[in-house]
Structure 1
Amino acid sequence: MPRVWLEHIEEGLIAFLLAAMTVVTFAQVVARYVFNYSFVWALELTMYFFGALIFLGISYGVRVGAHIGVDAFVRILPARAAHKLAILSTLLCILYAAIVVYGAWIYVDKIHTIGIMAQDLPIPQWVPRVVLPLGYALLIWRLGEVLWNLLRGGHASLLGDEVADAMKLLGDDDSKGDAA
């Protein structure tokens, strides 16, 4: 049950960030070209929203299998070897994400300790940058789910399957044509 809540919060936050970026950018364009006025803080706020979107989107991409990669070598391996390689690659991804979480936490802590403020917004810099360790911590959670599934003998992939997606879409188009 907590997993469903996490997924809804994750999707809602990503949707909010995308919508907020669009609204702030649209308001800035209207203000600049219609009223000859500019919001000084709009670019910085949009940049923070975009950064948050990226760091939260990384884990979302793992959850829905949307990341791309080269898997030609893995596909020619026997199923057992490919499964072991998937476990190893997931463990390496978790290790990498853990290193980033650690480094990002040190970075955010130093910014907090020094007391650096945002350039155009009246907030401390550490507030928008805390998404760095949080986003990668969420990535570790998602990679842990993939690893758990692999260790139980299931099939999990860190990469999207473009061919399967295209065939599914082709099948959806064919079924629409048959109904007409």
Structure 2
Amino acid sequence: MAHHEQNESGIGRIVSEIEETAIALILGLMTIITFINVVLRYGFNTGIIWGLEMVTFLFAWLVLFGMSYAVKVTAHLGVDAVINLFSPGPRKILALLAGAVCVIYAALLLKGAWDYWAPFAALDATSGRWFPTGFENSRDQAWYEVIDIPLPEWLRWIEPIMNQGEAYEKLPRFIPYAMLPFGAALLLLRFVQAFVKVAQGRQHSLIVSHEAEDAVEDVKHMNAGD
């Protein structure tokens, strides 16, 4: 992370804190649940019934948080061997073009994520094939539940709001699925930030760090006794 900029705006810092905290918590929860399940299974021939499903959801959340955070710390894989053959002017144009493509991709992903999640939250999906042109009525699927994870008692207040007063036996799907539009929105934000940095000349491309070159430099320093 030493290679990316640390001077972020207030919103950028807040988003970074959310991403870093969430990633740490998710990793911790996945480890704890898996460890407890292993101990229960091999030590007491039992287990947490909802453990596997919970870890699966947490892993999906980790991926969705990680894809936006990886843009920020330039951890996504990229190849710039051909781009580096150009002079700085054309190189910047190509970087801006790549950034625009990434922004459009993230916007399409956000629309698709919202349209998939909205019915589970009793909300309307967007109209328009590629980009939102408004909202259209979608079938209410807020009563859909996950398979194993029970609904915590402190979430019973959502039943009259989301399920017409009917009791949930399991966790409603709109809760774990909410990470889909949220993660896509974070990814869009990070691509927009990267595009702006390239446009302002604060970043030469979407690829800032080169792990292979960094590793070679580290080995050189180690061999030199630094």
Q: TM-score, normalised to structure 1's length?
A: 0.91
Question: What is the aligned counterpart of 2:42 among 33, 39, 46?
Answer: 33
Structure 1 Cα separation of the partners of residues 64 and 108 of structure 2: 15
Question: What is the aligned counterpart of 1:146 among 179, 183, 194?
Answer: 194
Higher relative helix content: 1
Instruction: Quickly say closer, same or farther: Cα 1:65–1:172, change in 2 above 3 A.
Output: farther
Structure 2 Cα separation of the partners of residues 157 and 34 of structure 1: 53
Flag structure 2 segments of 5+ consecutive residues without an equivalent: 1-9, 122-139, 150-169
Aligned partners of 1:59 and 1:135 also within 8 Å? yes
* 2:28 matched residue in structure 1: 19
Structure 2 Cα separation of the partners of residues 106 and 152 of structure 1: 34
Instruction: Quickly say closer, same or farther: Cα 1:166–1:84, change in 2 above 3 A.
Output: same
Aligned partners of 1:28 and 1:42 also within 8 Å? yes
Instruction: Quickly say closer, same or farther: Cα 1:92–1:19, change in 2 above 3 A.
Output: same
* 2:80 matched residue in structure 1: 71
Superimposed CA distance per residue, residues 107-143 of structure 1 (whole angstroms, 9 cap, x where no aligned partner): 1012232121001112111111111111111111111
Larger Rg, first or second structure (1 or 2): 2
Give the AA of the match of 2:219. Answer: L
Aligned partners of 1:104 and 1:132 also within 8 Å? yes
Is the aligned partner of 1:162 residue 2:211?
yes
Structure 1 Cα separation of the partners of residues 50 and 221 of structure 2: 45
Give the AA of the match of 2:42. Answer: Y
The offset of 1:6, in angstroms, is: 2.0
* 2:65 matched residue in structure 1: 56
* 1:93 matched residue in structure 2: 102
Flag structure 1 segments of 5+ consecutive residues without an equivalent: none
Structure 1 Cα separation of the partners of residues 20 and 40 of structure 2: 30
The offset of 1:172, in angstroms, is: 4.9
Higher relative strand content: 2
Superimposed CA distance per residue, residues 88-124 of structure 1 (whole angstroms, 9 cap, x where no aligned partner): 1111111111111111101101223212100111211
Superimposed CA distance per residue, residues 132-161 of structure 1 (whole angstroms, 9 cap, x where no aligned partner): 111111111111111111111222433341
Structure 2 Cα separation of the partners of residues 123 and 145 of structure 1: 35
Structure 1 Cα separation of the partners of residues 222 and 173 of structure 2: 48
The offset of 1:73, in angstroms, is: 1.7
Question: What is the aligned counterpart of 1:44 among 46, 53, 68?
Answer: 53
Q: TM-score, normalised to structure 2's length?
A: 0.73
Is the aligned partner of 1:132 residue 2:180?
yes
The offset of 1:4, in angstroms, is: 1.8
* Identity among equivalent pairs (%): 34
Aligned residues: 177
Larger RCO of the pair (alpha carbons < 8 Å, separation 6+): 1
The offset of 1:174, in angstroms, is: 4.9
